[in-house]
Amino acid sequence: MSSMASPTAWLEIDLDAIAHNISVIQKNIRPETRLMLVLKGDAYGHGITEVASVAASCGVDTFAVITLEEGMKIRQASVRGTILLLGTVELSGVFCETLLKEHLEPTVSSEEEARFLQKFCSDRNIVLPVHLKFDTGLSRLGVLWTEAIALAHTISESSHLCLASVYSHLAGYENDIVDRQIVRFHSVLDVIHSEGIFVPAVHLIKSVLLFRRPDLHFDQVRIGLALYGALIVDDDTSTELFRPAMSLKTKIVHIKTIPQGEGVSYSPQWIAPKETKVGVLGIGYANGVHRMFSEKIKAIIAGQLAPQIGLVTMNHLMVDLSSVPHVAVGDTATLLGTVGNIQITINELAEAINTNPREILCLLGNSNPRIFQSTL
């Protein structure tokens, strides 16, 4: 946990859940298919070094990150294996020196990047593994799929670059989107193979399609959301459930009773319909609980669900304690997680403000101290 003496809001990260989720994934891919875990965004807010260490203890040896700094953090945790940089190549000597020192493998998305890396490695007489990414429809990183063959030739013909994998990234999970991208993906792969370019590994699949499309597992699967237990699994695809790893907790810092007709928070939208016991929780949008959550979420307090009322403020939010008879200042309130038989999931929070769970996990992880729990 951070050095904050007594936080009023914190995350609890269940590392046993991370290990469990890895086991579920491993049981649902072929023995010859390698598991690549996506640890970008500080492991989706869960703590990159801690998650990487647990994954390594579970036998995982392939990771994906965005930045050099993320890769370095994994290495500092004494984790070996392959670390793929999903981000762009910085055309600088310092960037490349760090690549070599930390044994990180870059993604190449342009002829310019390939030429720069080739010259850098040639000057040092070394061979660098690189990964070719081509864009099949997300229109983000990666060379356009129509130009991927030429870049594949550039890499394969380079004396100091070694093609380690070819991959793309799906823009969604809807059948029409996936099918369109898969046609493009296969069309590129077919030509690459027909022209004699050796490709050691191919990867495309992401968490949401892990069970739905086993035909797309290829040589590796890139898994992010499922690792953290935030994947909704169709009932007919797996009998095993992923376990959420992150819980968000806070404390009740103040309790008061307000009369009927009194408003709560700024520009009061919630007006007390009767005399109401209000709890003030020590958490707000500075802790990643966006104002858009206002009056759309609940907290688990003393075994009961207490609805949040009024606008969320920077450091506090208010809840209606009418249904929570026995409660006191200092009691714990859970905004994400499970207490007894009551559960608030990350997907529920995401749906409440029409976003995806990744955004909320990252916001919470960047804004709160973490307590790591494990029996391993």
| Catalytic hit among 101, 173, 256, 266 | 266
Domains and CATH numbers, the chain: 15-228 (3.20.20.10), 246-344 (2.40.37.10)
pLDDT of the residue at 80? 94
Long-range CB contacts (< 8 A, 24+ apart) of 226-229?
226/21, 226/24, 226/25, 227/18, 227/21, 227/22, 227/25, 227/37, 227/38, 227/44, 227/51, 227/55, 228/18, 228/21, 228/43, 228/44, 228/46, 228/361, 229/17, 229/18, 229/21
Q: Categorize the per-residue pLDDT at 166 as very low, low, confident or very high, splitting at 50, 70 and 90.
A: very high
Percent of the chain with pLDDT over 90: 91
Q: Categorize the per-residue pLDDT at 2 as very low, low, confident or very high, splitting at 50, 70 and 90.
A: very low
Q: Which two tokens stand for residue 134?
A: 């081509």
Sign of CA dihedral 133, 137, 141, 147: positive
pLDDT of the residue at 222? 96
- How many Cβ atoms are within 10 Å of 244's Cβ, its own excluded? 23
**Alpha helices (runs of H) in the chain, residue ranges in sequence order:** 15-27, 40-44, 48-57, 68-76, 93-102, 111-124, 148-156, 175-194, 346-352, 357-367
pLDDT tens digits for range 305-329: 999 999 999 999 999 999 998 999 9
Model pTM score:
0.94
d(CA 37, CA 52): 9
Backbone dihedral angles phi then psi of residue 247, each to the nearest 5 degrees:
-125, 145
| Catalytic hit among 27, 40, 119, 274 | 40
- Specify the pairing of strand 276-281 against strand 317-320: antiparallel
What is the average pLDDT score of the chain?
A: 94
Catalytic, 266? Answer yes
Percent of the chain with pLDDT over 70: 97
Q: Categorize the per-residue pLDDT at 257 as very low, low, confident or very high, splitting at 50, 70 and 90.
A: very high
Catalytic, 285? Answer no
pLDDT of the residue at 235? 52
